[in-house]
Amino acid sequence: MTNLILFGPPGSGKGTQAAKLVAKYGLLHISTGDLFRYNLKNNTPLGQEAKKYIDKGDLVPDSVTIKMLKEKVDENKNVNGYIFDGFPRTIPQAEALNILLGEENTSIAALIALDVDDEEIVKRLLERGKTSGRADDTDEKIIRNRINVYKNETTPVYDYYDETGHSMKVKGVGSIDDIFARLCSEMDKLV
Ligand code: ADP
């Protein structure tokens, strides 16, 4: 199994690149953001709980997020590997993921971070907000909160995997295909 964490700030292109990686490497894409949006759309109890946080650009509590992620992994065991997108976003989430994968005798092959600067992110998210229907993409204050949450709560996850030599950065600016080529050159070393 090859398990990848696709990492990076909001709007860094994780969803776009994950779809291309799935097509090329046959991995299963698990996006906690997509799972939450599915629950919001269907107004499930999980969606109602998550909405309070998502609307402000804050993180949903670990207990809720980890349980949702674990269920998704448990439902999809016979795969070549996973691409985790938007997870883990905190150290407790990373620890939970390690335990979960350890139970399956597997682990994270690499964390690849898409490197994009703040002003480019704000620009991209406001642009995405015009068509995405995502409330969290339309208000610059909420966008800037998400960037701060990323810096304060999520970047420690990069360092956590870096300690064991599993973290790397890829330039996330340029054409979609150029960024994909950079990701593939890292992926090809792993698979
Ligand atoms: P972004 O476009 O900001 O990367 P996502 O689509 O991944 O955002 O997630 C949207 C929102 O869902 C986040 O702002 C957060 O509130 C919530 N969320 C997603 N993944 C997680 C997670 N791993 N832990 C806590 N909250 C999460």
| Predicted local confidence at residue 63, as pLDDT | 98
Average pLDDT value over all residues in the chain? 97
Q: Is residue 184 part of a domain?
A: yes
Token representation of residue 134 = 């995502």
- Residues paired with 114 in a beta bridge: 170
Domain ranges, residue 172: 4-117+155-190
Atom from ligand 1 closest to the CA of residue 85: 7
The per-residue pLDDT for range 102-133, each reduced to its tens digit, is 999 999 999 999 999 999 999 999 999 999 99
CA 17 – ligand 1 centroid, Å? 17
Q: How far is C-alpha 141 from the geometric centre of its chain's CA atoms?
A: 21
The span from the CA of 126 to the CA of 99, in Å, is 37
- Give percent above pLDDT 90 in the chain: 98
CATH of the domain at 41: 3.40.50.300
- Residues paired with 84 in a beta bridge: 5, 30
Question: What length is written for the chain?
Answer: 191
The per-residue pLDDT for range 17-32, each reduced to its tens digit, is 999 999 999 999 999 9
Q: Is residue 150 part of a domain?
A: no
Yes or no: say if 94 and 161 are a contact pair by the CB < 8 Å rule. yes
Whether residue 37 lies in the annotated active site: no
Domain count, the chain: 1
Given the residues 20, 24, 51, 128, select the one marked as catalytic.
128
